[in-house]
């Protein structure tokens, strides 16, 4: 039966962020032991979370938990969504970690129609937002749309950018805002507005969209909040860096998301790179010196074909000069740590 052809009874008690994280792993087919390793917690902790999830979903096994979660839109089932209405930018590298953040943002989107991801440039707001949207497609039967605002300078043009992505054209004697409101109407749809901080004057247009529709949810990335009624801010944290006093082995270091990100991106740059007993501590120190910022870590890892980890660490005193030259097909803001001009800020 189509999940949208019958009434789905909502949860009496919502899942917590950690429970959503465990549920996502269950949906991915991971066993309890694999989940414990992924989340670096004890097996008994995972079993406790699983029991909580079953109780809240009203089920007693994994299969029913996944079915129930998909009915509620908590887990993605792309078969329920018209793929033509999922318009997200392609990602050419794997997404590393951030399971807790994804679960927490998805939880916010279940209780609020406006969520803003904030944080400094390079903190990974855009990548996190896109991943959240990608994993939430089953929750929005009418689609998920990504609108990049990075190249827009005039706040008055924000509706035009949205209209271009969703395919709404201007009609004679009809304001574009009215056409957008009619398009969204009662659709259950997620709109991702990326890089909003230089267009804060357009925030009122976001309010108009939300008040004129009933099923629209908006996820925003910005260096600052929009200061709108009903807005929930989620401050994107840096990746956790290792505390070397608590780490005993390379395997332990590799579990940290910052080190895992550096390792993956370094191996993409040089097939000869591996995390070893000889360089693991240096890599951990690089991640720490870069404050766990994903963009900085990725740019540093790309330099591994030119410098070994020790040489990289020595050169981080001039990080603004060193950490440039990201892939040419990425936006300018993702090619360097240098502060870009207005209109191409944020990441």
SS3 track for 20-40: HHHHHHHHCCCCHHHHHHHHC
Among 70-74, 199-203, 255-259, which stretch is predicted with the lowest mean pLDDT? Answer: 70-74
- The residue with greater pLDDT, 1 or 332, is 332
Report yes or no: 262 and 297 within 8 Å, Cβ to Cβ. Answer: yes
**What stretches of the chain adopt beta strand conformation (E)?**
86-87, 114-118, 144-148, 189-194, 216-221, 232-235
Residue-level pLDDT at 284: 94
CA gap 340, 321 in Å, rounded = 14
Residue-level pLDDT at 9: 58
Between the alpha carbon of residue 172 and those of residues 135, 169, 178, 183, 262, the distances in Å are: 38, 10, 12, 16, 52
Q: Which of 219, 15, 211, 67 is nearest to 134 (CA)?
A: 219
Euclidean distance between the first and the last CA atom of the chain, given in angstroms as a whole number: 41
**Domain 76-235, architecture per CATH:** 3-Layer(aba) Sandwich (3.40)
Among 228-237, 247-256, 328-337, which stretch is predicted with the lowest mean pLDDT? Answer: 328-337
Q: Which of 330, 108, 342, 132 is nearest to 223 (CA)?
A: 342
**Phi and psi (nearest 5°) for 132?**
-60, -45
Residue-level pLDDT at 171: 81
Given a cut of 80, whether residue 212 has pLDDT beyond it is yes
Residue-level pLDDT at 205: 93
Structure tokens at 319: 């990080």
CA gap 243, 284 in Å, rounded = 9
Length of the chain: 347
Given a cut of 70, whether residue 4 has pLDDT beyond it is no
Over the stretch 257-286, which tens digit does the pLDDT of each residue have?
999 999 999 998 888 999 999 999 999 999
CA gap 77, 66 in Å, rounded = 10
- The residue with greater pLDDT, 254 or 219, is 219
Q: How confident is the model at residue 216 (pLDDT cuts 50, 70, 90)?
A: very high
Structure tokens at 73: 């839109």
Residue-level pLDDT at 186: 87
Q: What is the mean pLDDT of the chain?
A: 84
Q: What is the mean pLDDT of residues 308-332?
A: 67
Count the Cβ atoms, other than its own, within 10 Å of residue 56. Answer: 18
- The residue with greater pLDDT, 169 or 207, is 207
Structure tokens at 25: 């792993």
Residue-level pLDDT at 125: 96
CATH class of segment(s) 1-75: mainly alpha
Give bridge partners of residue 217 from the DSSP assignment.
190
Q: How confident is the model at residue 96 (pLDDT cuts 50, 70, 90)?
A: confident
């Amino acid at each position: 039966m189509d999940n949208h052809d019958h009434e789905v009874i909502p949860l009496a008690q919502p899942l917590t962020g950690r429970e959503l994280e465990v549920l996502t792993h269950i949906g991915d087919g991971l066993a309890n032991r694999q989940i414990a390793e992924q989340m670096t917690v004890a097996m008994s902790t995972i079993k406790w979370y699983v029991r909580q999830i079953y109780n809240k979903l009203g089920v007693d096994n994994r299969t029913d938990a996944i079915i129930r979660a998909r009915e509620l839109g908590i887990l993605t089932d792309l078969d329920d969504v018209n793929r033509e209405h999922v318009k997200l930018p392609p990602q050419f590298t794997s997404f590393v970690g951030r399971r807790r953040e994804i679960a927490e943002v998805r939880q916010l989107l279940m209780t609020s129609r406006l969520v803003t991801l904030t944080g400094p440039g390079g903190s990974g707001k855009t990548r996190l937002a896109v991943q959240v949207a990608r994993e939430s497609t089953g929750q929005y039967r009418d689609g998920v749309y990504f609108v990049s605002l990075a190249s827009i300078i005039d706040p008055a043009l924000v509706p035009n950018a949205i209209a271009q992505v969703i395919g709404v054209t201007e009609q004679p004697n009809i304001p574009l805002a009215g056409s957008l409101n009619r398009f969204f109407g009662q659709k259950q749809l997620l709109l991702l507005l990326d890089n909003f901080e230089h267009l804060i004057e357009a925030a009122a247009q976001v309010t108009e969209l939300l008040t004129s529709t009933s099923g629209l949810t908006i996820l925003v990335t910005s260096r600052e909040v929009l200061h709108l009624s009903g807005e929930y801010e989620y401050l994107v944290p840096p990746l956790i860096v290792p505390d070397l006093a608590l780490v005993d082995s390379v395997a332990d270091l590799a579990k940290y998301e910052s080190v895992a990100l550096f390792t993956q991106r370094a191996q993409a740059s040089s097939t000869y790179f591996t995390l070893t007993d000889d360089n693991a501590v240096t890599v951990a120190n690089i991640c720490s010196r870069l404050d766990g910022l994903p963009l900085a870590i990725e740019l540093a890892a790309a330099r591994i074909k030119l410098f070994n980890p020790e040489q990289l660490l020595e050169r981080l005193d001039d990080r603004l000069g060193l950490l440039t030259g990201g892939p040419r097909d990425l936006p300018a803001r993702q090619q360097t740590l240098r502060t870009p001009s207005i209109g191409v800020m944020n990441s």
